[in-house]
Structure 1
Amino acid sequence: MAALRVATGGGHWFSALALGVTLLKCLLIPTYHSTDFEVHRNWLAITHSLPLSQWYYEATSEWTLDYPPFFAWFEYVLSHVAKLFDREMLNVRNLNYSSSRTVLFQRLSVICADGLFIYAVHECCKCIDGKKASKELTEKPKFILSVLLLWNFGLIVVDHIHFQYNGFLLGLMLLSIARLFQKRDLEGAILFAVLLHFKHIFLYVAPAYGIYLLRSYCFTANKPDGSVRWNSFSLARAASLGLIVFIVSAVSLGPFLALNQLPQVFSRLFPFKRGLCHAYWAPNFWALYNAVDKLLSLIGLQLKLLDPNKIPKASMTSGLVQQFEHTVLPTVTPLATFICTLLAILPSVFCLWFKPQGPKGFLRCLILCALSAFMFGWHVHEKAILLAILPMSLLSVGKAGDASIFLILSTTGHYSLFPLLFTAPELPIKILLMLLFTVYSISSLKMLFRNEKPLFNWMEKVYLLGLGPLEICCELIFPLTSWQPRYPFTPLLLTSVYCAVGIAYAWFRLHVSVLTNPAARRTKKQ
């Protein structure tokens, strides 16, 4: 506790929040864990038992190493602690090994790695602008933000029940964001470059970093209207950013370049043969696209407009990770998803360059990049919604409009994670934690912006309240119906499609707020 107080600058309430959530994580150690638990156990075994030259070739388990090299080295370091708990977990051939000591070690490793996340949250709280407000008025948003981040429902259930290391990775991203807010641009760039070599999914937000650093760091002066002075471009600063990317990439990929294994590494990092959607559809545009295609195919069969023998055998509702063809609508290719994602992020990137608003403008662009990639990317995992929800927490305590978008996005995005925890003992846990987080989020943000317009209109209220009947239908009613044996994936489909509507709505509102921001228009007119 004393060490935590030092790290947080003596903030007693912050220490209490951090300690409280850490104790909760310890209580969740015995809960269900997914196949991701075996994924990371296998990676511990690979990096500990095999030479570097075999890390990205080993295929004894189906859960092959498919994260960038820094994460592989992270597993390598952890493996040297793991052997003190149970050496058998480090045997590559011990598939699906989960002794009590193995479970204890892997759970504790996630909890300990979250120390970086706790520090990053503390640094993010420093970025809340308090120049024009009293200490009391700035402490309240900081407290709310700390709860929204440290006690984030999605992060707790995905990392500490389902099992992953998102807290550690998102901690790196939040710390990088905090450094940019603190005008420590080079530190922020270094942290993000390192993050990319821990998990390549953060390429989604790389355009926001690239444009912001180019404009705010490489150009040393701006015109009165906010546009850049082209003669103020600093070649030295641009070179320093390029050098950072080169050095980090060389440290990460250099050993595999020396082994002539880069093609093999990249083939593991970008496996395009997994299909458009994950087994459980992420609640994005393609979930809606798939649902429309499925509906049209059913109508076509009923009206005898389609030949049953010509319908593709690979079903998108089979619950398997595979490639499939759509029945009525055009089949989507990786190139099509890339073009859609690129078109979706262009408006926010454009605004970041031509309508600069400092670090807050960068943060909006980052969130939109993450959301756009989630909405239109290839084989998106439902857990990727956390890349947008956590950064959006920082904006939620600043403006009522942002708070409204955050509440819709977080409530819908968090509920979409429910199917990840499908065992009976976890049902009351996920419902209770979700309710506690959601009720606190809504009540605290309503209180923070009580002098402004209501955070929700009547349609938004009806939509969010609809999550209750949806849960009752999926968990209680549907399993008792005669449809369950024939259509077992119906609850997943309903959850995905319903949540996709809310996330798409939040994405649209955030785009509108960026394109119509009054501050941006004033900057342009000055």
Structure 2
Amino acid sequence: MESLNPSQQPFPSSTTTSRSQTGPQEQSPTRPRLNLKSDSQPHASPEILAPTPRRHLLESSESQHWLRTPPLSPSSSRGVSPVSLFSSASLERRVRTTSYYSTRPSSASLRSLFDSDKAKELTGNGRKHEASEKQDVEMSMGRMWVRWMHKRNMKEWVAPALVAVSTLLKWCIGLGSYSGEATPPMFGDYEAQRHWMELTVHLHTSQWYTYDLEYWGLDYPPLTAYVSWICGKIGYWINPAWVALDASRGIETSESKVFMRATVLAWDLLIYVPALLMFVKTWQASRSNRTQNLSFLTLLFQPALLLIDFGHFQYNSVMLGLTILALNFFAQGQDVLGAVCFVLSLGFKQMSLYYAPAIGSYLLSKCIYLGPRAGWRLFVRLAIVTTASFVLLFLPFLPPFARFEAILQPIKRIFPFARGLFEDKVANFWCASNVVFKWKRWASTAVLVKLSTVFTLLAFLPGVFILIRTAIKTSVSATDPANDTSSSVSSTHSPTLPLLPYALLTSAMSFFLFSFQVHEKTILLPLLPLTLLLCGAPAGSAMFGWGVLVNNIAVFSMWPLLKRDGLGLQYIITVLLWNKLIGYDPRRLPSKSFVQLLSFAVYGAAGLLHLAEFIFPAPSRYPDIFSVLNVLISTPVFILAWLWSIKNGIEVGWALGGLGQVRKVTSTAPAPAPTGASLTEATVRRGVTRAASLGFSSGRRRAPTASSASSSGRPRTATNMGT
């Protein structure tokens, strides 16, 4: 049944009747409410009282304030996803500066507040929203295609088609050269990965980390070795010459290249792609299928990962996919499974330690939030499961399977402190400052290790502090009887979940900028949480501008590496394609905002550097001049992104917990949720903060009623991620 056009038939004054006045005759909130006439008018046709979405109000040239209709339906059957609240810095500031802490808002009014700010952030004027939306559709290839598929009732084919196209693109990137191709005697990272396959297939585990270390000795954690063993077994079954011990060094036959490229693609399809699909279905469950598809497209075609894994040749998608799975399980309240996935990510590549402060702080904040009893039980379970997972990963190197000192072999290889502060020109603090201050001349390696450790610790501490502080301020009261039901309480969602992506970005960028022995490729780690935030941001917003800017400059910072690998064509195509698919144009960012001005300046400098490098050869006296200039252009952007992540974390933490006295979550059950929907909004009152449902299982799980919640003694708590 279609709703009436509000511009043609306005609602009568009875539309403002409160919920308490409608009584039992009020219909289910998931359907349009019918205001039937009284018995004195038995033949009058029913009037459909449907709320008017804000976008229709914005698109209309007429003033419709007299309608007094909420901008979004308060009876949506969807739950709120983690990205539906606190979507930008302006939203958190708006929440703290309005009177919503002194009055109890309805879900419609709270949601209208956020959507109103979103519209203003996009256009600066609500009346321009229609033109902005049309421009988004015209400029974004991805949006146009997704819209075309949905209008032709093929929306269930969007995700498979995206996976198929991205797989084809990845394979096409792999048709080019790779790290170390035809460059003896070491042959680059490609040969390192292939060489580990032959090591694990032919040697005992006790020799994996000791055999001929001068030629690409294994220096990644055991899970990488196990993956290499699986790939090596399959390669040995197809053609033993591909992984023949020592005899296959430097092999570059076309068949072996196809096999090696196929292994990267297979692991990507097994772990990374499903993790992305699960992410958009979990963290953006309350958003439309079209928006979820656009987010999936944004993540799937990220150029930096495509170029490194399928061009340069790496298996970073396995590590990143396991980290995303951990975030998905955290969002679902399954913290133990999330901890296992993160241990697996650490077990695949030690670079996942970049995320460890944020992940560990989030889990600790969850324990603090739950209170002494339930929090302590969750802490014990996490400690046991994490320890058991590490033991299983390193089991072949532990007694009775090996001598006790065997465990030191992988540990020494995993943490190579003897290599020095840095090797190549990397866009971080040490390389940029080394232009004017020669660190290696001023201090020894031991001093530089300690100095980098201190700098890194100070850099990620703000994210950790905000997580812990917010957990303390919103923790469940120690006297709350709900703490006795730890099994149910620990499965809820901590209010600190919105802070997790910002903490991940702060932590990863801190390690990239200040830690010891950083490579160009490790920029992929801070890019992951940033792109997860970006995929849910509206085009033209500040979040969108920062996310795309840092992604583009990250690829630019890897240009010296990609140039050596002969991936210039792939570099240009993937960057242009991704920007066109997501509809990015710095001119459409908030006018004269800092991120817009910064984008113009940085893109101009990067373009001039590429032009100069193309026209002029590097002088013999300064052969690395172009690489150094690349570092000097990229590093300020990454430092600003690190500061921006701290700023957003502070604002989201302020919106969640404030800066005043500690607020305790009471066990008083809220009003019954609408039928068929989970709790959809964060209800905030003076002295009480009650977070909202995540929305990841809306449509499949009915929300508990007030009576059931109070009888079970479970506080209905969850949270929402801020973008």
Which bracket does the TM-score occupy, shorter chain normalised?
0.7 to 0.9
Give the structure 2 partner of residue 469 of structure 1.
Answer: 608
Output the CA distance in 1 between the equivalents of 2:284 and 2:570: 36
Among 617, 620, 638, the alignment partner of 1:503 is: 638
Output the CA distance in 1 between the equivalents of 2:273 and 2:586: 22
Give the structure 2 partner of residue 102 of structure 1.
Answer: 256
Give the structure 1 partner of residue 474 of structure 2.
Answer: none
Give the structure 1 partner of residue 621 of structure 2.
Answer: 486
- Pairwise CA distance, 1:159: 0.6
Output the CA distance in 1 between the equivalents of 2:260 and 2:193: 8
Contact 1:42 1:61 in 2 (8 A): no
Asked if 1:122 corresponds to 2:237, the answer is no
Output the CA distance in 1 between the equivalents of 2:407 and 2:237: 33
Asked if 1:244 corresponds to 2:380, the answer is no
Give the structure 2 partner of residue 85 of structure 1.
Answer: 238
Give the structure 2 partner of residue 298 of structure 1.
Answer: none
Asked if 1:395 corresponds to 2:559, the answer is no
Relative distance call for 1:51 and 1:59 in structure 2 (3 A) is: same
The AA in structure 1 aligned to 2:431 is A
Give the structure 2 partner of residue 513 of structure 1.
Answer: 648
Q: Greater share of helix residues, 1 or 2?
A: 1
Output the CA distance in 2 between the equivalents of 1:110 and 1:47: 17
State how 1:125-524 maps to structure 2 within 5 Å: 125-129=280-284, 131=286, 138-216=288-366, 218-219=367-368, 221=370, 229=371, 231-258=372-399, 259=402, 260=404, 261-279=406-424, 281-293=425-437, 325-326=440-441, 333-356=448-471, 357-399=495-537, 400-423=541-564, 426-441=567-582, 443=584, 456-474=595-613, 476-479=614-617, 483=619, 485-517=620-652, 518-520=654-656, 522=658, 524=660
Contact 2:527 2:551 in 1 (8 A): yes
The AA in structure 1 aligned to 2:505 is I
- Pairwise CA distance, 1:81: 0.6
Contact 1:405 1:510 in 2 (8 A): no
The AA in structure 2 aligned to 1:384 is T
Output the CA distance in 2 between the equivalents of 1:396 and 1:387: 15
Contact 2:502 2:648 in 1 (8 A): no
- Pairwise CA distance, 1:523: 7.3
Output the CA distance in 1 between the equivalents of 2:336 and 2:431: 39
- Pairwise CA distance, 1:90: 1.5
Contact 2:177 2:565 in 1 (8 A): no
- Pairwise CA distance, 1:196: 1.0
Relative distance call for 1:427 and 1:268 in structure 2 (3 A) is: same
Relative distance call for 1:148 and 1:453 in structure 2 (3 A) is: farther
The AA in structure 2 aligned to 1:30 is L
Give the structure 2 partner of residue 38 of structure 1.
Answer: 191
Matched residue SS, 1:457: helix
**Number of residue pairs the alignment of both structures matches:** 468
Matched residue SS, 1:333: helix
Encode CA deviations 1:150-201: one digit per residue, 9 max, x unaligned.
Answer: 1110111101110000112211111111111122211111101111111111
Give the structure 2 partner of residue 312 of structure 1.
Answer: none
Contact 1:43 1:72 in 2 (8 A): yes
Contact 1:416 1:495 in 2 (8 A): yes
Output the CA distance in 2 between the equivalents of 1:141 and 1:389: 21
RMSD: 2.7
Contact 1:120 1:172 in 2 (8 A): yes
Relative distance call for 1:101 and 1:361 in structure 2 (3 A) is: same
Contact 1:348 1:514 in 2 (8 A): yes
Relative distance call for 1:67 and 1:80 in structure 2 (3 A) is: same
Relative distance call for 1:329 and 1:425 in structure 2 (3 A) is: closer
Relative distance call for 1:29 and 1:413 in structure 2 (3 A) is: closer
- Pairwise CA distance, 1:54: 0.7
Output the CA distance in 2 between the equivalents of 1:489 and 1:265: 34
Contact 2:326 2:339 in 1 (8 A): yes
Contact 2:546 2:595 in 1 (8 A): no
Higher mean C-alpha deviation, range 34-43 or range 353-362: 353-362
Give the structure 2 partner of residue 28 of structure 1.
Answer: 173
Relative distance call for 1:161 and 1:130 in structure 2 (3 A) is: closer
Relative distance call for 1:404 and 1:331 in structure 2 (3 A) is: farther
Asked if 1:50 corresponds to 2:236, the answer is no
The AA in structure 1 aligned to 2:623 is P
Output the CA distance in 1 between the equivalents of 2:575 and 2:308: 12
Give the structure 1 partner of residue 695 of structure 2.
Answer: none
Relative distance call for 1:445 and 1:21 in structure 2 (3 A) is: farther
Larger radius of gyration: 2
Contact 2:420 2:445 in 1 (8 A): no
Contact 1:43 1:75 in 2 (8 A): yes
The AA in structure 2 aligned to 1:519 is A
- Pairwise CA distance, 1:441: 4.1
Output the CA distance in 2 between the equivalents of 1:397 and 1:167: 18
The AA in structure 2 aligned to 1:491 is F
- TM-score when normalising by structure 2: 0.61
- Pairwise CA distance, 1:378: 0.4
Encode CA deviations 1:389-448: one digit per residue, 9 max, x unaligned.
Answer: 12211212445333232122111111111112225953222112112223444528998x
The AA in structure 2 aligned to 1:275 is G
- Pairwise CA distance, 1:253: 1.5
- Pairwise CA distance, 1:329: 12
- TM-score when normalising by structure 1: 0.83
Contact 2:222 2:347 in 1 (8 A): yes
Which runs of 5 or more structure 1 residues have no equivalent in the other structure?
1-8, 222-228, 295-323
Relative distance call for 1:445 and 1:19 in structure 2 (3 A) is: farther
Output the CA distance in 2 between the equivalents of 1:140 and 1:44: 42
Output the CA distance in 2 between the equivalents of 1:519 and 1:51: 55
Give the structure 2 partner of residue 113 of structure 1.
Answer: 267
Higher mean C-alpha deviation, range 332-341 or range 452-461: 452-461
Relative distance call for 1:332 and 1:143 in structure 2 (3 A) is: farther
Output the CA distance in 2 between the equivalents of 1:89 and 1:61: 21
Contact 2:275 2:325 in 1 (8 A): yes
Output the CA distance in 1 between the equivalents of 2:594 and 2:584: 10
- Pairwise CA distance, 1:328: 10
The AA in structure 2 aligned to 1:235 is W
Give the structure 1 partner of residue 702 of structure 2.
Answer: none
Give the structure 1 partner of residue 219 of structure 2.
Answer: 66
Encode CA deviations 1:280-336: one digit per residue, 9 max, x unaligned.
Answer: x22111122111226xxxxxxxxxxxxxxxxxxxxxxxxxxxxx8236999961111
Matched residue SS, 2:175: coil
Matched residue SS, 1:494: helix
- Pairwise CA distance, 1:98: 2.0
Encode CA deviations 1:464-503: one digit per residue, 9 max, x unaligned.
Answer: 23211111122x1232x6x1x3322221111122111111
Asked if 1:18 corresponds to 2:163, the answer is yes
Higher relative contact order (CA 8 A, sep 6+): 2
Identity between Structure 1 and Structure 2 (%): 27
Give the structure 2 partner of residue 302 of structure 1.
Answer: none
Contact 2:178 2:566 in 1 (8 A): no
